Amino acid sequence: MNEKENRIEVYLDDNAEPVASYSPPGSFELDTTTLDDGPHRLRIVAFDRYAHRGVRGISFEVRNGPGIAVDGLHEGDIVEGKVGILINAYGGAYEEKWEPTRAETPKPVPTWAWVAFIVVVAWAMYYAVQQWNPTPEFAQTPTYRKISEAQAGLGKGAALGADLYRTSCASCHQNNGQGVPNVFPPLARDPVVNAADPAEHVKIVLFGKKGGLINGVAYRAEMPAWADQLSDEEVEAVINHERTSWGNKAPTVSAEEVGRIRRR
């Protein structure tokens, strides 16, 4: 038997002529851009020097053309009547520059997603407004003063009350009116601060108070008296600031009423 060189032949699909033929080992490049999209099969035939033949088949799928997206109908669906189907085609190996937005199949955002989004945004805005406290530098600016006065509806006294609270009260009761647990009581939602009659609130600011029980929580710290440090107008301003801040919506007090309580 005559010996021959080893040989490999590569056939594509049902073609009778090989797409490549060479002595092993070797390599060749399969240009799939010349093939239709869909299933194909590569058949490799190898001959040894004694003409013995080995065959191996490899199935593969070509997908160079545009991708196809179908919305409204799926494999195995059971349908009846009219069915709305949305079809999109995008990309492909033949395009040098591919724009990603072309792959987006138009589809409305579910109503529940919009509702959830609006609720989250509204809650975030409410929380930010309730918790935001200006820095001392910003609180002194004319812009903030005007905004504070307009929001409180208390005229010039609103800015005075905010300043007095920041310099005289915030170190204990905190800028957000929450106080310090078991030490300095909160002013936000405090029954005295929110009472319809502001007399007790005025008395505490003027004459002080030693500890107490607020909303079932005991506070040990002593509230100092401010009668000697603050005028009637200043007491009016700071009390009205406390009674209209941090969610409090209590009736306000006048300087004349503060004066009457001071003189009792």
Q: Does 150 lie in the same domain as 94?
A: no
**pLDDT value, residue 106:** 58
**pLDDT value, residue 181:** 80
**pLDDT value, residue 196:** 92
* Residue 111 belongs to some domain of the structure: no
Cα 165 to Cα 173: distance, rounded to the nearest angstrom: 9
Q: Does 229 lie in the same domain as 145?
A: yes
Q: Does 159 lie in the same domain as 32?
A: no
Q: Does 165 lie in the same domain as 96?
A: no
Q: Does 247 lie in the same domain as 160?
A: yes
In this structure, what DSSP letter does residue 184 have?
B
Number of domains in the chain: 2
**pLDDT value, residue 1:** 41
Cα 226 to Cα 204: distance, rounded to the nearest angstrom: 9
Q: Does 149 lie in the same domain as 65?
A: no
Q: Which domain holds residue 194?
A: 127-263
pTM of this structure: 0.43
**pLDDT value, residue 118:** 83
What b/e string do you get for 49-64 counting C-beta neighbours within 10 Å, with b at 16 or more? eeeeeeeeeeeeebee
Q: Does 257 lie in the same domain as 132?
A: yes
Q: Does 100 lie in the same domain as 146?
A: no
* Residue 122 belongs to some domain of the structure: no
**pLDDT value, residue 112:** 74
Q: Does 136 lie in the same domain as 99?
A: no
**pLDDT value, residue 140:** 57
* Residue 76 belongs to some domain of the structure: no
Q: What's the chain's length in residues?
A: 264
What CATH number does residue 3 fall under? 2.60.40
Q: Does 134 lie in the same domain as 64?
A: no
Q: pLDDT by residue for the chain (264 residues), tens digit each? A: 445 688 999 999 999 999 999 888 878 888 888 898 889 999 999 998 888 999 999 999 998 877 788 888 888 888 888 888 888 776 655 555 555 555 555 566 666 777 788 888 888 877 776 666 666 665 555 555 555 554 554 455 678 888 888 888 888 888 898 888 878 888 888 888 899 999 999 888 888 887 777 777 777 778 888 888 889 999 999 999 999 999 998 999 999 998 898 887
* Residue 139 belongs to some domain of the structure: yes
* Residue 109 belongs to some domain of the structure: no
Q: Could you tell me the two tokens for 256?
A: 């004349």
Cα 202 to Cα 179: distance, rounded to the nearest angstrom: 19
* Residue 169 belongs to some domain of the structure: yes
**pLDDT value, residue 98:** 52
H helices of 136-224, in order, are 136-139, 142-152, 157-164, 170-173, 199-207
* Residue 74 belongs to some domain of the structure: no
Q: Does 98 lie in the same domain as 140?
A: no
What CATH number does residue 207 fall under? 1.10.760.10
Q: Does 133 lie in the same domain as 258?
A: yes
